[in-house]
Structure 1
Amino acid sequence: MSNIFEDNGRVVDAPSDNFVYRLLPPSLWPYAQLARWDRPIGWQLLLWPCLWSAAMAAGVTADAGAFRPGQFIAHCLLFWLGAVAMRGAGCTYNDLVDHDIDNQVARTRSRPLPSGRVTRRQAKIFILLQALTGLAVLLCFNLFTIVLAISSLAIVAIYPFAKRFTDWPQFVLGLAFSWGALVGWAAVFGALSGPALLVYVAAVLWTIGYDTIYAHQDKEDDALIGVRSTARLFGDNTKPWLIGFYGVMLVLMAIAFRGAGLGWPAFAGLAVGGGMLFWQILVLDIEDGDQCKRLFLANHHVGIAIFAGLVAAIFIG
């Protein structure tokens, strides 16, 4: 494994054809790897609850005859930039906290910090730069949204330590990764209400589900070094737990869409996304690490399906 790193300067669990390695000079590769720019799935999964909520709010304004397409597009672009920046800052922070653990796990040993390509001081400076980018994005929104988004940092700070004191670190991740479901709604209305809260809880359940699948890749190494996870907790009972998580998620989102007065396309998109989720459960083999990774990555398409339905509902009703 060390030879793989020494030969090409890449990490072993990232795609080798990513734009990072085609466009950036090798001197910047370690920073791109710290921010996980070579693995976009993280910011994609962080972004989807935010876009769902923003589209749901836009659907409400469309029903009231007050839909502003320019605002919706601008918000989506700002949420994308903020997701990339803050996911990168979060991953860099997580790598600083997990420096020693990553050196003991086969999948993470080639990352920039354990491999020595970036110093801890350099990583801290990089966190600051990414956080400032996120702050610049945040200042484009109303005061309620700014305060709401900043309040999520307490959960973000706790998450890297969760695997040390609870079998449910995926729940803590869900609390942080789903925060956009609140922010997307607040950016339009300057307040929170039932539909946004329901989508937030639903997104937390979605996160627990897909990250449990992801964690099955590392369960053997995790057991050896004492890292806890829902993958280890659920074990052979993972599928029934996933059925519960995804089932309740879909019900909560349907209730949210109904409460927001959205039309049938929103429910159609939700049905397609739900079908994808239950297909994952049907084919899941928790002993096949490569398949677990593929199924985890497939959640990006779940996000697309649900978002597409919500956007269609804005225009079709």
Structure 2
Amino acid sequence: MMTRETLQAYLDLTRLNRPVGIYLVLWPALWALWLAADGTPPWSIVLIFILGAVIMRSAGCVINDYADRHFDGDVSRTCCRPLATGALTEKQALRFFVLLGLVGFGLVLMLNPLTIALSLGALFLAVLYPFMKRHTYWPQAFLGAAFAWAIPMAFAAVQNDVPWQAWVIFTLTLIWALIYDTAYAIADLEDDLKLGIKSTAILFGEKVQWIVGAFQLIMLAGFVWLGQLFDLGWVYDLSVLAAAGLFVYHQWLLHFQQPEQAFRMFLNNHWVGVVILVGIVADKSVIPWLGTL
């Protein structure tokens, strides 16, 4: 019988108590669902994607901790993770990952065949990302691809097709991951250098703030283009301005060149996803509904 301590270790492995990662997966998926459905996504599909974001982010945390099991014990921020402390074994972690993957796949089986086929790509990227830190200075790009894979899946679920516009949202989501996960990597910079782990924070070096700023400008330009592609209105335009304001705040946090402030930037980034989602939902759902009253 599973003890209370073991159950807590499994919960710690999923990091459900730190939901920011779920938000960073979920908000772009909801952008895509609302845009694919022109403001009226089926609520059953919305629920599947919400649950899928929780399950697959949890699975991603499990496989990430398995990949980092020989490193986490030497990093102050991660030394208390279940695999680092021995609270769970490697086999227990892998079995848990398989279980979560099966639950996630069970959710996808309620969707159409195209979405089911695309879900295999999501699983592949989730497994691939944690191991890229040893081989490339761009692991953040692989994380972005893993998080952004919900975009083509959302269009497939609603339209049974993946139009080229979906890949615009995919690219914006990937760029966004380069922004916030570089900030996350800044917080771990000293430990990563000692352990030989690679990241964009190390690659960009002293120019990290300027390069992140360039990515932010590209993302804002992409948001403007997105508004044109999907005929979004003035509320969405205001949401893009709000996102720009958040990026200015994030630049202010970065200029301190302190790990704590960079981590604050990472945590705050999900609000960019929120304000964009509010703009999309308002223009595609709320304002048309008000017009019928």
The TM-score with structure 2 as length reference comes to 0.92
Is the contact made by 2:6 and 2:87 (CA closer than 8 Å) also made in structure 1? no
Compute the displacement of 1:145 (Å): 1.2
Give 1:132's match in structure 2, choosing from 83, 89, 102: 102
2:23 matched to 1:53? no
Contact 1:196 1:256 in 2 (8 A): no
State the shift of 1:286 in Å: 5.7
Give the match for residue 209 of structure 2.
239
- The answer on whether the counterparts of 2:37 and 2:159 sit within 8 Å (CA) in structure 1 is no
Task: From 3, 8, 17, give the equivalent of 1:29.
Answer: 8
**Unaligned stretches of 5+ in structure 2?**
289-293
Q: Is the 8 A contact 1:216 1:286 kept in 2?
A: no
Alpha carbons 2:253, 2:264 under 8 Å: kept? no
Of residues 151, 154, 163 in structure 2, which corresponds to 1:193?
A: 163
Matches within 5 A, 1:81-230: 81-230=51-200
The superposition leaves residues 25-60 of structure 1 with CA deviations (integer Å, 9 ceiling, x where unpaired) of 54421111111111111111111111111111232x
In the alignment, the residues of structure 1 paired with residue 76 and residue 28 of structure 2 have an alpha-carbon distance, to the nearest angstrom, of: 31
Alpha-carbon distance between aligned partners in 2 of 1:138 and 1:36, rounded to the nearest angstrom: 22
Separation in 2, partners of 1:259, 1:81: 28
How many equivalent pairs are there? 285
Contact 1:185 1:196 in 2 (8 A): yes
Residue equivalent to 1:288: 258
Shift of 1:149: 2.0
Cα RMSD (Å) of the superposition? Answer: 1.7
> What's 2:281 paired with?
311
Moved over 6 A (4+): none
* Structure 1: gaps (5+ residues): 1-23
Report the Cα distance in structure 1 between the residues aligned to 2:246 and 2:186, rounded to whole angstroms. Answer: 19
* Percent identity (aligned): 37
CA offset digits 1:224-262 (Å, max 9, x no partner)? 111111111112211111111111112223212311222
Structure 1 residues 172-205: Cα deviation after superposition (integer angstroms, max 9, x where no partner)? 1111111112222221111111321101101100
Residues of 2 paired with 1:254 and 1:199: CA distance? 12
Residue of 243, 251, 260 corresponding to 2:221: 251
